[in-house]
Structure 1
Amino acid sequence: MLLGISARYRRHLIIVTAIMAALFFMPAGSAKGQAPERSKGPVDLSTAIIQVAKKNIPAVVHIEVTGQQEIVMPSLPFEDDPFFRYFFGLPKGPRKYRKELKGLGTGMIYDARGHILTNYHVVGGATRIDVVLSNGSKYGAKLVGSDPKTDLAVIRISTKERLPSVTFGDSDKVQVGEWVVAIGHPRGLDQTVTQGIISAKHRTGITDPSSYQDFLQTDAAINPGNSGGPLLNLRGEVIGVNTIIVSGSGGFEGIGLAIPGSIALHVAKLLIAHGKVERGWLGVSVQDPTPENAKALGVAARKGALIADIVKGGPADRAGLRKGDIVVSYQSKEISNGASLRNEAATTPVGSEARVTIIRGGKKQDLKIRIGAPKEAAKALAASVKERLGVEVRALTQKEAGRRGLGSAQGVLITWVEPKGPLGRVGFEAGDMILEVNGQAVSGPENFIELVALLKPKQQVTLLAVDHSSGSSGYVQAVVR
């Protein structure tokens, strides 16, 4: 109340109150002289989720996929023995059959042309993809492109309907504790809206270590069927693509992971433009600094990417980067860990020059690195496998895989072994197969090379192998050179 206060002081109080209110509701950054954005105004928490749902549900789609899995009948113990074949014969009937599989997922309409962003694991390998819009309309969709390394894919529908689309926000500015909303189709329950907060950022080590991981963690309820759906801030902007849950039961337990919107947006643009993603390559193996080596190398905090190994003749080697350097900045952006450096380099155009800031001997130093191409990386890394393990490998043929009851995209066949090399010393021979590296399934030569590149010098590695002469399988340990 302003009763009993003179007119002069009343005006002063009103002015001060107005200024304080303006500062309180000012968008982030405005107090520093930045022009305020109209879309960044104050959020009414009592209706925010309602508004987010109204705005985005029309742009979220239900995806139904049909796929086929080839099932190989297991080999009989003595079927290659002429005596056994003559006296006992072999069972008649096909040795292989195809099983039809169906799955559900979520996607978000990327643009009015009918492009839809979703997860690779939702549509990858599908023989048929159907999309159901929020109004019930159903369309067949075609795969535009996919990127297994980030678990992202773009599909497209053709329609004369006017399609709404989502809007992306800046996921790099998302803060831990910020309210978020997830929309999807968990277990086939269409247009389900859940809410929670950002529980953590930069989660890594969740899935295949050769993939590009930098997950946002949320406690917004996510279940099977939510995959590919949007994670949104309270302004209705996509800041993540819901991808995976960490759960012992298979259902929601409070830990959901989303691919940051900055990565998803970059990948989507490349897939729409080229149908594939071409990544930049530095030619380094990195790890997170430990308290001990951070102190020894003159780093105050455990931040940055420690260079554990460098590919000879690669971009980093040519630029003068050394083992033991810690990269703390890439293109003026702070590097928090090894995964963030790998992800930043991957999104840098091939052939462009990147500026990195390193700490060497306790002092900061700037270097310029010309980013390499995937073909250069494949050639150099294949040579690295030969150097580090003493073997050369190739993909399995359909016949070779079938004889062992394996899929065609499973494992690698050793074609050459250095007798005194790391694998030669523990008994590997040409013709043997490698199916796993440290518990990670090998999907082919490229994947095998990437998994080996992550190994540190002198590290012990456990390989699941199949002996070419006996057909028996087992785990073998060796030490990387």
Structure 2
Amino acid sequence: MDERRPPIVTSSAPAAEESRPPYALQHRLFTLLTLVVILLITPWFVERMRYAWTHGRQRAELDGARVALASPETLADAFRQVALNVNPSVVHIDASSVTSPSSDDEGRPRRGQRTYGDQGQGAGIVVSDDGYVLTNYHVVAGADEVSVRLGDGRIVDDVELVGVDTETDIVVLKIVADGLMPVEWGDSELLSVGDWVLAVGSPYGLDLSVTAGILSAKNRSIRAGHQSYSDLLQTDAAVNPGNSGGPLVDIQGRVVGINTAIVGETYGGISFALPSKTVQEVYQRLKDHPLGTQGLLGVKPQDMTAEIAATLRIDAHRGAIVTEVLPDSPALRAGIESYDVLLTWDGQSIENAEDLRSRVAATEAGRRIDVGINRRGQPLTLSVEVGRRASVF
């Protein structure tokens, strides 16, 4: 019996589509929610990372500062080392005027009698091993006799006046002594507000007194008595009468200024020092052009800056602006006024206040010099007969 295969039945109906897995929709929803969560938390995460980095940096700086000042003893030791380093280079200065001796019954001066009038005192610094000493002009102004007491107690009565700069209140003296120890200079331009500074001087005659404070500000302008100052360092280190002319030093014992003025008659938390940059420039100029060869103009100059030019509404970005004209001076007689900007001296360009001082000091007294000026925006040329600096003692 023949076996027959069952007939193959075909259908023209389309095949049924495969059904999708039941979790496909859930997968899409999960992916969407994940993206939303990522978008929401990314800013927070980035902010946390930024905070962590900033906090870590600040923490590292704080830890570094704590290591640098691990204990009060560390800072005290630094102060002790500074005092040991600086004191041998600091001197005490006595200045006095001598009045006429009284006469005997026959009208003749009494022999051996000397009467002292005004007496002053201050401090100074040894700046070279061959005897140059710096102090403030007002310490010795008007004195007939000046003596210098060295850090080791020796007293030098034979004191030579080398040069004076009344505008910056600096005087250069010269003494003869063996074994002098000059100061080490620092750079006042590198100082920052908050830096430790120490003042050394002779407050009320107590020589080699050391006080400490911080740099409170830079580029201060003040008026103390009849003297105007600019570009000063402000500090809260205790400075009193007798400190004038003494050094302001950094934490490495390097001289960054000369203590010059205080607010009021006694220390009140604010004192001022001439920056070492200015002091060094003046010292070199006075040394190169000793008293008797220095010319005199009779103005108090300040560096001309873009800020000052904008304030005065003038087109001058170099030169020296006159902040004060001294009475009975060559400048006053020539017609120079306050706020004049001095641009040229004898045909040579003036770059700044120190450049003007140097050119005037190097000019022979009695010469007539043309001075180029900007006065309220207008060019002007005045003729000045250069004066001669007088001795102070």
3-state SS in 1 of match to 2:223: coil
- Asked if the contact 2:163/2:287 (under 8 Å) is kept, the reply is no
Tell me the residue number matched to 1:56. Answer: 86
- The change in CA–CA distance for 1:214 and 1:296 in structure 2 (over 3 A counts) is closer
Residues 253-301 of structure 1, C-alpha deviations (whole Å, 9 max, x = no match): 01111111111112222333332496899x9988777899559889xxx
- Alignment of 1:192 with 2:209, yes or no, is yes
Aligned-pair Cα RMSD in Å: 4.8
Shift of the alpha carbon at 1:66? 1.4
Tell me the residue number matched to 2:280. Answer: 265
Gap runs ≥5 in structure 1: 1-19, 26-43, 71-92, 299-303, 322-329, 331-340, 351-370, 386-391, 395-444, 448-481
3-state SS in 2 of match to 1:122: helix
- Alignment of 1:251 with 2:287, yes or no, is no
TM-score between the two structures when normalised by the length of structure 2: 0.57
Corresponding residue to 2:167 among 146, 149, 168: 149
Residues 355-374 of structure 1, C-alpha deviations (whole Å, 9 max, x = no match): xxxxxxxxxxxxxxxx9958
- Counterpart residue type for residue 130 of structure 1: S
Shift of the alpha carbon at 1:125? 2.6
Tell me the residue number matched to 2:355. Answer: 345
Tell me the residue number matched to 1:45. Answer: 75
**Could you tell me how far apart the structure 1 residues matched to 2:124 and 2:163 are?**
14
TM-score between the two structures when normalised by the length of structure 1: 0.48
Gap runs ≥5 in structure 2: 1-59, 66-73, 101-106, 108-114, 323-338, 376-382
- The change in CA–CA distance for 1:102 and 1:50 in structure 2 (over 3 A counts) is same
Shift of the alpha carbon at 1:177? 1.3
**Could you tell me how far apart the structure 2 residues matched to 1:186 and 1:272 are?**
28
Shift of the alpha carbon at 1:142? 1.5
- Asked if the contact 1:124/1:146 (under 8 Å) is kept, the reply is no
Percentage of identical aligned residues: 34
Residues 373-412 of structure 1, C-alpha deviations (whole Å, 9 max, x = no match): 5879975579999xxxxxx999xxxxxxxxxxxxxxxxxx
User: Structure 1 stretch 259-268 or stretch 236-245: which is displaced more?
Assistant: 259-268
- Asked if the contact 1:288/1:306 (under 8 Å) is kept, the reply is no
Residues 280-331 of structure 1, C-alpha deviations (whole Å, 9 max, x = no match): 99x9988777899559889xxxxx99896456xx62897999xxxxxxxx6x
3-state SS in 1 of match to 2:230: coil
- The change in CA–CA distance for 1:139 and 1:119 in structure 2 (over 3 A counts) is same
Tell me the residue number matched to 2:235. Answer: 218
- The change in CA–CA distance for 1:195 and 1:294 in structure 2 (over 3 A counts) is same
**Could you tell me how far apart the structure 2 residues matched to 1:61 and 1:180 are?**
19
**Could you tell me how far apart the structure 2 residues matched to 1:319 and 1:156 are?**
32
Corresponding residue to 1:114 among 131, 152, 156: 131
- Asked if the contact 1:58/1:135 (under 8 Å) is kept, the reply is yes
**Could you tell me how far apart the structure 2 residues matched to 1:69 and 1:216 are?**
38
- Counterpart residue type for residue 356 of structure 2: A
Matches within 5 A, 1:50-89: 50-68=80-98
**Could you tell me how far apart the structure 2 residues matched to 1:104 and 1:271 are?**
22
Shift of the alpha carbon at 1:252? 0.4
- Asked if the contact 1:66/1:128 (under 8 Å) is kept, the reply is yes
3-state SS in 2 of match to 1:315: strand
Tell me the residue number matched to 2:140. Answer: 123
Shift of the alpha carbon at 1:145? 2.1
- The change in CA–CA distance for 1:295 and 1:267 in structure 2 (over 3 A counts) is closer
Residues 34-70 of structure 1, C-alpha deviations (whole Å, 9 max, x = no match): xxxxxxxxxx534211111011111111111111479
**Could you tell me how far apart the structure 2 residues matched to 1:55 and 1:306 are?**
39
Aligned residues: 280
**Could you tell me how far apart the structure 2 residues matched to 1:103 and 1:53 are?**
25
Residues 70-111 of structure 1, C-alpha deviations (whole Å, 9 max, x = no match): 9xxxxxxxxxxxxxxxxxxxxxx9xxxx86221111111112
